[in-house]
């Protein structure tokens, strides 16, 4: 499992609901910590993936949205090479020097690994990195599969790059000498090398590129992307947190990746032009699936089918503005069916669900007005994502909370999320 980086702040330190207020709040906490205001605040959102799970590290397709929960870092450039950090939500301080970066095997706290990793990789890439004073806080739930770690990595990278670009002679935002694709890959590399999770590229990319009320159709091989209007009309996105710690997520995640790579190596005997599962059509897979060990066959089947579901989902949403009201309702119902099929595949073939996730999806699917429900994230706990008619949102929250508690003895957390813009830098 990814190490906890920050606790959810909203229940602990009065983190404001509005993003602008959150930025001001973070700046004020910086002033209380370091005695004067910060120069800027970076803010990076978490995400929820509507469909396309475990396809990103197979160079496939994903369809996430950024959500209005963020990791914020208030910072001020230092004249030396020191990095002084206050993780507000755990009330923890840590300091290091950019010239002698500490090893993550040393006594560095878990949350600092992301900052050490970003600083290390930026310097290795030849980027100028300056010392900073910084306060870190946020309200992306931890361990829920909503990409708190990607939000922290992205916000950290923007913080170091912005501080190094601040000249003190201009009121305009500095131009950062790195593009979003390069920045996303660097933040992904932090996860690989400094956290030990071989994650895909989706989380970092949506945190950087999210747009309000639009999902991101992302090709995880080329990083080509397209923003797709959601046009959910009278429906909303509701996220339900199982409150189950994802203790198996990291180790099982890496096992699933290894099984997919094993499948590719075997199938290349008959399909020599392939390099990842996204290159295999369902028709070709059915020809050769019996050549695979049973477990490998299940893992590969899920990924190949999921890529097809993402393409179908995007096609459905792209044409909704051309449809009549009746056709629009039917296309949204079709989108929900794809979400349901995605969860079924994750449960049965990829086997990354758990009892609590299945209970939540079963409850949701039996509520009139819910058109689709699936797990989201790496699995083995975390959250489900649901598309719910606005008229039944209150009923949905009441029934899910009551039924889930009855079946599990756990009180879930339910977030009604807006689709947010991507990472930003706010100057003072």
The residues assigned a catalytic role are 203
- Contact in structure between 76 and 46 (CB atoms under 8 Å): no
For 355-400, the DSSP string reads: HHHHHHHHHHHTSTTEEEEEEESSSSSSEEEEEEEGGGHHHHHHHH
Q: Categorise residue 92: left if φ over 0, alpha if ψ from -120 to 50, beta otherwise.
A: beta
Cα 340 from Cα 343, distance rounded (Å):
5
Distance CA 158, CA 143 (A): 23
Quote the DSSP letter at residue 17.
S
Strand positions, DSSP E, 17-60: 40-51
Residues 6+ apart with CB under 8 A from 402: none
3-state SS class at 72: strand
Spell out the residues 6+ positions from residue 293 whose beta carbon is closer than 8 angstroms to its own: 262
Do 383 and 377 meet the contact criterion of CB atoms below 8 Å apart?
yes
């Amino acid at each position: 499992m990814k190490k906890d980086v920050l606790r959810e702040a909203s229940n602990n330190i009065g983190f404001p609901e509005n993003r602008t207020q959150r930025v001001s709040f973070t700046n004020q906490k910086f002033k209380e910590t370091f005695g004067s205001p910060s120069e800027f605040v970076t803010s990076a959102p978490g995400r929820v993936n509507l469909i396309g799970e475990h396809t990103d590290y197979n160079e496939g397709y994903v369809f996430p949205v950024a959500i209005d929960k963020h990791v914020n870092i208030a910072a001020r450039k230092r004249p030396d090479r020191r990095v002084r950090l206050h993780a507000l939500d755990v009330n923890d301080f840590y300091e290091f020097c950019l010239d002698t970066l500490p090893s993550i095997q040393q006594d560095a706290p878990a949350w600092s690994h992301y900052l050490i990793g970003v600083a290390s990789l930026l310097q290795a890439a030849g980027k100028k990195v300056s010392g900073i004073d910084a306060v870190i806080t946020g309200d992306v739930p931890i361990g829920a599969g909503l990409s708190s770690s990607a939000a922290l990595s992205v916000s950290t990278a923007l913080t170091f790059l912005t501080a190094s670009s601040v000249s003190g002679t201009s009121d305009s935002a500095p131009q950062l000498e790195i593009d979003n694709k390069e920045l996303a890959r660097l933040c992904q590399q932090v996860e690989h090398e400094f956290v030990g999770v071989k994650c895909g590229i989706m989380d970092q990319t949506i945190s950087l590129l999210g747009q309000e009320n639009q999902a991101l159709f992302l090709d995880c091989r080329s990083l080509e992307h397209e923003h797709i209007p959601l046009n959910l009309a009278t429906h909303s996105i509701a996220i339900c947190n199982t409150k189950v710690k994802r203790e198996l997520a990291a180790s099982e995640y890496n096992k699933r990746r290894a099984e997919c790579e094993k499948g590719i190596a075997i199938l290349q005997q008959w399909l020599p032009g392939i390099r990842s599962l996204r290159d295999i059509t369902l028709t070709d897979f059915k020809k050769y699936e019996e050549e695979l060990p049973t477990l490998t066959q299940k893992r590969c089947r899920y990924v190949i089918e999921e890529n097809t579901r993402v393409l179908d989902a995007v096609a459905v949403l792209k044409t909704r503005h051309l449809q009549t009201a009746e056709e629009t309702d039917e296309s949204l119902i079709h989108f929900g069916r794809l979400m349901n099929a995605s969860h079924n595949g994750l449960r049965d073939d990829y086997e990354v669900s758990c009892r609590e996730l299945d209970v939540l999806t079963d409850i949701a699917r039996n509520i009139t007005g819910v058109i689709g429900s699936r797990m989201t994230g790496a699995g083995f706990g975390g959250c489900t994502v649901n598309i719910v008619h606005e008229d039944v949102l209150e009923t949905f929250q009441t029934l899910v909370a009551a039924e889930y508690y009855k079946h599990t003895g756990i009180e879930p957390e339910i977030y009604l999320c807006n689709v947010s813009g991507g990472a930003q830098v706010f100057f003072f």
